[in-house]
């Protein structure tokens, strides 16, 4: 099954601030000559490659590094990037307990907005790896439909976050078989094919200090400096005027969009419709693996199919 992205390729190129056909062709040729030990598919489409090229501002060497890290991390983090099916026993509880959305409007600077918050605040309902999986599925859905963009802003609402949630993240990180927290930040900082512009965290509480103690070791300075914290009683009028207008935000944050649960349900409908794409993308990665690794990945994939 071919990996087809929805966005219009010619329109995307015309809107990009930097594009050189000769450089792009050299990037295509490079992917076809890579050894299988790099896990990079040789049948990447122009639309797939353009996401990396744009994210790296047309820098070919940076694009190559980003591509290699992207496929290495996806291969080595199956708990986050494989079996992306909303109806699975793994994902369904988090679909109900969390909220995600690609907001329909953009920031003042024309950046895409990815939103996330808790729906149910009981720590027992929070599962770190499925939450990460849904977040990256949401990002992939935005890339699939909108293509290369000048930037992304992530919006995280901390309302309802408790010490119990941090304990569950800590336990996830301590699992001998996985280092999911470290891989999460590696992917976001080194491999995700988007231009990250800022991360705004709303409704911060004193527990924020404990959260930062947990995650700060995995963030480089440039990434950490992108994070902007907003206390629950903060006056956001300047934020509305300079960063994101009210028209681009849900009512919980002073905006005029539909409520966050409505936005979440629409996002989940989109992710459900994209399941054939998620499956095709996983198969493309599996087919790029060396023979022995490919056989094991196929076996794991079939087991998930049996469960589903």
pLDDT score for 180: 81
Average confidence (pLDDT) over 44-51? 98
**CB-based burial, 163-202: b 16+ in 10 Å, e otherwise:** eebbebbeebbeeeebbbbebbebbbbbbbbbbbbbbbbb
Give the pLDDT band of residue 307 (cuts 50, 70, 90). very low
> In sequence order, which ranges of the chain are alpha helices (DSSP H)?
9-15, 21-33, 46-55, 60-76, 78-81, 92-97, 128-146, 163-174, 180-186, 208-215, 221-225, 237-242, 260-273, 275-287, 291-307
Q: Would you list the domain boundaries of the chain?
A: 9-82+284-306, 91-269
Higher pLDDT, 110 or 233: 110
Question: 40-49, 160-169, 208-217 — which one is most confidently predicted on average?
Answer: 40-49
Share of the chain above pLDDT 70, in %: 91
Higher pLDDT, 291 or 79: 79
- At residue 200, φ and ψ (nearest 5 deg) are -110, 125
Whether 221 has a pLDDT exceeding 90, the answer reads yes
Q: Under CATH, domain 91-269 is a member of which superfamily? A: CRAL-TRIO lipid binding domain (3.40.525.10)
- At residue 160, φ and ψ (nearest 5 deg) are 90, -5
| Nearest-angstrom CA–CA distance, 99 and 38 | 34
Angle at 181 between CA 175 and CA 187, to 5 degrees: 135
pLDDT tens figures, 116-158 = 999 999 999 999 999 999 999 999 999 999 999 999 999 999 9
| Nearest-angstrom CA–CA distance, 106 and 104 | 7
């Amino acid at each position: 099954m071919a990996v087809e992205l929805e966005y219009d390729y010619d329109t995307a190129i015309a809107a990009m601030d930097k594009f050189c056909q000769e450089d792009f062709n050299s990037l295509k040729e490079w992917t076809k000559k890579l050894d299988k030990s790099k896990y990079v598919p040789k049948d990447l489409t122009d639309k797939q490659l353009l996401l990396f090229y744009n994210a790296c501002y047309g820098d070919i060497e940076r694009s190559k590094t980003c591509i290699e890290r992207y496929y290495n991390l996806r291969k080595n983090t199956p708990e986050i990037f494989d079996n992306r099916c909303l109806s699975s026993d793994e994902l369904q509880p988090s679909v109900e307990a969390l909220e995600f959305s690609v907001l329909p409007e953009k920031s003042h600077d024309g950046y895409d907005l990815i939103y996330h918050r808790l729906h149910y605040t009981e720590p027992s309902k929070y599962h770190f790896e499925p939450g990460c999986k849904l977040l990256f599925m949401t990002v992939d859905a935005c890339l699939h439909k909108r293509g290369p963009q000048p930037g992304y802003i992530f919006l995280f609402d901390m309302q309802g976050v408790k010490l119990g949630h941090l304990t569950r993240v800590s336990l996830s990180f301590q699992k001998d078989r996985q280092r999911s927290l470290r891989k999460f930040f590696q992917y976001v900082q080194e491999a995700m094919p988007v231009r990250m512009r800022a991360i705004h965290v709303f409704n911060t509480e004193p527990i924020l200090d404990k959260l930062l103690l947990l995650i700060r070791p995995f963030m480089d300075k440039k990434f950490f400096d992108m994070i902007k914290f907003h206390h629950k009683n903060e006056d956001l009028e300047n934020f509305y005027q300079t960063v994101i207008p009210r028209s681009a935000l849900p009512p919980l944050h002073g905006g005029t969009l539909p409520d966050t649960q409505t936005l979440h349900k629409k996002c989940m409908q989109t992710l459900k419709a994209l399941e054939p794409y998620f499956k095709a993308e996983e198969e493309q990665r599996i087919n790029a693996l060396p023979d022995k690794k490919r056989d094991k990945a196929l076996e794991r994939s079939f087991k998930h199919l049996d469960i589903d």
